[in-house]
Amino acid sequence: MTRRKIQLVGGGTYSVSLPKEWAETRGIEPGDEVGLHTHLDGVLVIEPQDGDGLDGVPEQVVLDADDLDAARVQRLLIAAYAAGIDRITVRFDAGVSSAQRHAVGSAAAELTGMTVVDESDTAITATVPVDPAEVSIRQSVRHFLFVATSMHRDGTAAVFGETSPESVLERTEQANRLHALVDRHFRRSLSKLDEVDALGITREELFRLWTASRELKRVAESAETLAETARDLDSPPERPLTADLRDAAQTARNCVETATPAVVDGGKVDPVRESIEAGERVRGLVDDLDARLFDEDAGDPRLTRATKAIERTADSGTAIAEIGLRQVISRQDCAGGDADAIGGIRVAESTD
């Protein structure tokens, strides 16, 4: 890091000299203009010639997909969306097959804000005209919490034969769409200087919310595992296992449902602690269940897929809680004698 002294010029203007090596590397000469970007988190960024971004994320790309099958065409479009590109043209020099055309349409339907705007025999163009100022990342994560935990609740019910596994699996696309939106704006923020300000949050807040969204995606994936396990079982689990399996699944969901609002709305001591404790309880319940499932008279060993999915759910809830724990520690909300220690951790009062 280079340090410079602030100078007062003309009685009202603050000035600072730029590092010579940096200016020469960027091709800056006397008389050139630079862009100054002030951000919500107090950071001032200097950008040569007021460019579009630190790494120049292109507004549009043309992707050659001539030799790709439908599944890889869809992945290509999803990757371009995640990269933050606004206009994506997929080119097929040998002609677009019906499967490839369907793959592009499916990807556009799955991704928030993407629309197919032009089609020909050899190319398809999709755009993402989403204004980040109209996107609420916090609300997206709140919605994702509802979707992921609802999927998990129904996945658990499917294991007991109380609902169809398909009712869970058909919501996979919705879960993917919610995370893809958060992921797109997070990745755009890494290179587009005005993205975070348009979203109305700081970079640190966006990173926390993106991390929570990533863990909620894993909760949704665990719900899918529960549904797939239910589909593979010959019959629901026997009564002696039912209560503990339900308890473990419910406690795992509580872990997630308690931790996520604490992160979205600002880390608080009590819910963070409760979530961490719930995660520890789930791991104990799962260990006991697994030991009983391998007893021939106790149940179907295939249920261990369900117990592992429940344990992974608790792990995701704990990971979200740890984000909140870092918030608490950084703000020293648990400082002093009035706050309970979290997992044996107590933040000392500042001596400044």
pLDDT tens, position by position, 11-53: 778 888 888 888 888 888 888 888 787 777 777 878 776 444 4
**How large is the average pLDDT for residues 264-293?**
91
Least confident of 3-12, 33-42, 130-139, 268-277: 33-42
Identity of the amino acid at 185: H
Q: What is the pLDDT of residue 49?
A: 67
Sign of dihedral through CA atoms 322, 228, 283, 278?
positive
pTM of the model: 0.83
**How large is the average pLDDT for residues 115-135?**
94
Q: What is the pLDDT of residue 178?
A: 96
**How large is the average pLDDT for residues 4-11?**
83
Span 293-311, pLDDT tens digits: 887 565 678 899 999 999 9
Q: What is the pLDDT of residue 345?
A: 46
Identity of the amino acid at 75: R
Give how far Cα 258 sits from Cα of 157, 202, 214, 253, Å.
21, 23, 16, 8
Least confident of 63-72, 173-182, 287-296, 308-317: 287-296
Q: What is the pLDDT of residue 54?
A: 46
Banded pLDDT at 336 (limits 50, 70, 90) = very low
* CA 168 and chain centroid, separation: 20
pLDDT at 341 exceeding the cut of 70? no
Banded pLDDT at 57 (limits 50, 70, 90) = low
Q: What is the pLDDT of residue 296?
A: 59
More confident residue, 35 or 340: 35
Span 148-168, pLDDT tens digits: 999 999 999 999 999 999 999
**For residue 200, what are its two tokens?**
């109305």
Query: How far is Cα 46 from Cα 280, in angstroms, rounded to an integer?
Result: 47
pLDDT at 232 exceeding the cut of 90? yes
Mean pLDDT, rounded, of the chain: 88
Span 90-120, pLDDT tens digits: 999 999 999 999 999 999 999 999 999 999 9
DSSP H or E stretch at residue 184? helix 172-189
Specify the CATH class of 60-127 in words. Answer: alpha beta
Q: What is the pLDDT of residue 346?
A: 43
Query: How far is Cα 119 from Cα 137, in angstroms, rounded to an integer?
Result: 32
Percentage of the chain modeled with pLDDT above 90: 62
**How large is the average pLDDT for residues 325-338?**
66
Least confident of 93-97, 139-143, 249-253, 334-338: 334-338
Query: How far is Cα 127 from Cα 59, in angstroms, rounded to an integer?
Result: 10
Q: CB-based burial of residue 340 (10 Å sphere; 0-12 exposed, 13-18 middle, 19+ buried)?
A: exposed
- Strand spans (E) along 171-319: none
Domain spans, the chain = 7-48, 60-127, 134-331
DSSP H or E stretch at residue 62? strand 60-64
Which CATH superfamily groups domain 134-331?
Phosphate transport system protein phou homolog 2; domain 2 (1.20.58.220)
